[in-house]
Chain A
C-alpha cells in the first residue's frame, strides 16, 4: 500500500540554522499539507499546497517558513532560521481531494 514518506525521521539543529524537511507524497495526491505537533499538544495546521502554489497558511506559517514542490514529486518545508519553539514533530500529508489527509510518519525536529 502506498504511503507518504518523510525524511529525515529525526533532525537536530542549532538555533538560527536553516532546516529542510522532505516528503514524498503518494503519487496520485493533488493536495499537500504540512502540520506540526509540539510534544503533548494538538496537531496544528501549517500550510496547504495545491496546483504548485500555497492555497492556505496558518498564523504559525510566517516568513521563516516556505514550501516547495521542486520536481513534481518531493514536497519540502524549509525553516530559514530555527527557534527553540520550532521543536516539534512535523507531518506531511496529502490527499486526492481537499477533504482528506493521509499523513506520513513525521520528522522530529529538535532545535538546541
Chain B
C-alpha cells in the first residue's frame, strides 16, 4: 500500500535554531514529491516539487531534498512567521491523486 509518513509530528524551535523535517514514503512508482505549508484554517500553500533522487530546491529559509526513500525539509534560522504545519505529499504513476502525510506542526518562538 502506498504510504507517506512524516516526522516529527510536532517541533518547537527557538528563533534561529535550524532543523529538518522528514517525509518517508513507500510507493509503487514515484512521479513527484510535494511540500506544502498549511496555516490554521487555510488551504495548503505550494512550496516545492521534487522529481528525482538527488534533487534539491530552495526558497528563502527552506530547502527540500529527495532520496529514493525520503525527503527532508531543512529550515535554516527559522523565524516566528515560519510557524505552520508542513505537509508532504506524493504523486504516483497511474493516478491523479496526491497522497498526503499527516504533517509536521512547527512552532518557532522568538
Contacts and interface: CB of A to CB of B under 8 A. Distances in A.
B95 A99 contact: no
A89 B100 CA distance: 15
A108 B43 CA distance: 11
Max chain B C-beta neighbours (<10 A), residue from A58, A101, A104:
A101
Given A42-B101, A99-B31, A48 B43 contact: no
Contact of A43 (B32, B41, B87, B95): B87
A56 B100 contact: no
A43 B96 contact: no
Nearest to A56: B96
A50 B4 CA distance: 26
Interface residues of A, number: 27
Interface of A: 4, 6, 31, 33, 35, 41-45, 48, 50, 55-56, 58, 89, 91, 98-106, 108
Interface of B: 31-32, 34, 36, 41-46, 49, 87, 89, 91, 95-103
Given A43-B98, A45-B99, A58-B97, 5 more contacts: A42-B103, A43-B44, A43-B100, A98-B96, A103-B44
